[in-house]
Amino acid sequence: MDGDKHVSLADAVAVFKILSGMDAGAGFSANGDVNGDGKIGLPEIQYIFQILTGLREPGAEEFTYNDIVQHTFYILEEDFGCRYDLEFLDQNTVKVSQGSESFNLTYSLTNGNIIVPDPAGGSADSFFRLQARHEDYLSVLAEFGGGPFEPEDGLWTGTSLITDLSLLNNSAEALKDLVVDQGLWGSTVTEDGRIIHPLVTIQGSWWIENNIFYFAYPDEDTGCVDYKALKLENNILYRQTDAPHTIMTRWYFDPSEVPTTGYLLNGFWAAYHTEGGGAEGGPDYISLTQSGNNITGSWVCGDSITITGSVTDGNIALSWTEISGNTVSLTGTISGSQMQGTWTDTGAGSGTWRAEKINEPVCETIKPTVISTAPANGETGVGRDLDWISVTFSEPMRTDRSVSTTGSWPVDGSENRYWSDNGTVYHFSRTNAGTLLPANTTLSVILNPTDYAPGFKDMSGNSLDTYTFTFTTGN
């Protein structure tokens, strides 16, 4: 207050002079308005004595009303990449928006921190502390209090409603073991701390503290972090829907400054691809979850294959290892609810891909079948100069394959092979093409043999059941 850039009793004296209608002195500066109300008064006195008594560190970053009133902040949670907006309408009301939903809450500015009381009147208050100011955003520590524990009728596991919990002896560890063993409300909790929802693996976490079982994961609809807690008392199950937690957030000043990556990735995507300039195949369904720049996910409606990757400034990279052992790598860009780029396969495939955000996958579960083969199953007198076999399927297929043979039709992956343009007919040769097959010999061909990973699958990932056909050569 006195212009020496240090907080001391002289500053308090200057404020008291102003409150008494006296002249504060030649060195007085009005830049000491700590709460942005355009006045010098009791809030400044409180601020000065908090510093002098050690309750506040000098120079600590703070919110002021000038910072927030009539401002909208565009927020990205750093833990889970969730986006929501805060619009401070006045010195009492803040409008919270997440996606298409919005609501107003009452807030207060206390000691330079924003406090949003629990709307239900409980203890789940939100507390926002300003950590640092940057050119494009504010770095904020957000602390959320826990709501009340409320009794539950029982515990819904993956199979049933368990109402008799006496065997758990009020133990959070035993409660965790039950959830790990039988699932939780249609989901599964694994020993390594993940929360697995139906059709999609979400990289959540769980822990036990003070005999309370906590778990956290991104909400499937919004991508925002969802915390819950369970405890047992007197063999009664209690659930706390708003568990206390702390996250770091960035409060951006302009919506264009919010990274276009993050919250947009969380959820289901329908993916399409081409290979070697052929027709587009798909959709295949994937689920993605982003934490910071890192991406995890899985294929749905088919094999449970884990996807990993990253996203930076709208550039995305994804990869996974197929059951065959081949690694598929995708690179491209994301803009809104659309992604596109190119892909390569260590098995020598390559092409283009695109994906679009969807609410929920529609999984087709009908298995493909073999319509016909050439030579036909059981055919005799087949020419010994035959170099190609063809298999026609009931629907378009993925390009992977799994074949074994007996007799003198050797295949090892190096033989010539190709798919029809519509993906329903697979043609393959033999490694000794150009030589005569042995006379009067029965040859067997097995598609998706039981000792191989299934390669023949339709576009939804449904595997062809093992199929065997034979033919016999002539003289």
pLDDT confidence bin for 201, thresholds 50/70/90: very low
Residue 228 or 195, more confident: 228
**Phi, psi at residue 408, to the nearest 5°?**
-115, 45
Q: Which of 145-154, 252-261, 391-400 has the lowest mean pLDDT?
A: 252-261
pLDDT confidence bin for 50, thresholds 50/70/90: low
pLDDT of residue 261: 46
pLDDT of residue 80: 52
Average pLDDT, the chain: 80
Residue 277 or 210, more confident: 210
CATH 3.40.630.30 fits 267-358, yes or no: no
Question: In the CATH scheme, what is the code of domain 370-473?
Answer: 2.60.40.1220
Q: For residues 374 and 390, is the Cβ–Cβ distance under 8 A? A: yes
Q: What is the DSSP letter of 109?
A: E
Q: Which residue has the tokens 């102003």?
A: 18
For residue range 139-153, what is the model confidence (pLDDT) as tens digits? 888 888 887 888 888
Answer yes or no: is pLDDT of 221 > 60.
no
Residue 132 or 343, more confident: 343
pLDDT of residue 401: 86
pLDDT of residue 28: 61
Instruction: Tell me the β-bridge partners of 281.
Output: 273
Q: Which residue has the tokens 């061909």?
A: 445
Q: Which of 280-284, 312-316, 444-448 has the lowest mean pLDDT?
A: 312-316
pLDDT confidence bin for 199, thresholds 50/70/90: very low
Give the pTM: 0.43
pLDDT of residue 84: 79
CA distance 470 to 475: 17
Dihedral, 172, 174, 176, 179 alpha carbons, nearest 10: -130
Answer yes or no: is pLDDT of 193 > 70.
no
Q: Which of 302-306, 376-380, 425-429, 430-434 has the lowest mean pLDDT?
A: 302-306
Give the amino acid at 473: T
Interstrand relation of 417-419 and 338-345 (parallel, antiparallel or unpaired): unpaired
Write out the two tokens for 285. Answer: 């369904």
For residue range 428-468, what is the model confidence (pLDDT) as tens digits? 999 999 999 999 999 999 999 988 878 898 877 788 999 99
pLDDT of residue 229: 86
pLDDT of residue 24: 66
Q: Which of 95-99, 379-383, 470-474 has the lowest mean pLDDT?
A: 95-99
**Contacts within 8 Å (CB) and 24+ apart, 134-138:** 136/252, 136/253, 136/254, 136/257, 137/250, 137/251, 137/252, 137/253, 137/257, 138/67, 138/73, 138/250, 138/251
Q: How far apart are the first and last CA of the chain?
A: 110
Answer yes or no: is pLDDT of 37 > 70.
no
pLDDT of residue 233: 93
pLDDT of residue 413: 84
pLDDT of residue 197: 46
Neighbours of 364 (CB within 10 A): 14
Q: Which residue has the tokens 């510093």?
A: 51
DSSP letters for 239-293: EESS--EEEEEEEESSGGGS-SSSTTTSEEEEEEE-STT---EEEEEEEEEEETT
Interhelix angle for 42-52 vs 9-19, to 10°?
160
Contacts of 387 (CB under 8 A, 6+ apart): 429, 430, 433, 434
Closest CA to 384 of 405, 403, 408: 408
pLDDT of residue 453: 78
SS3 67: helix
CA distance 32 to 53: 18
Instruction: Tell me the β-bridge partners of 384.
Output: none
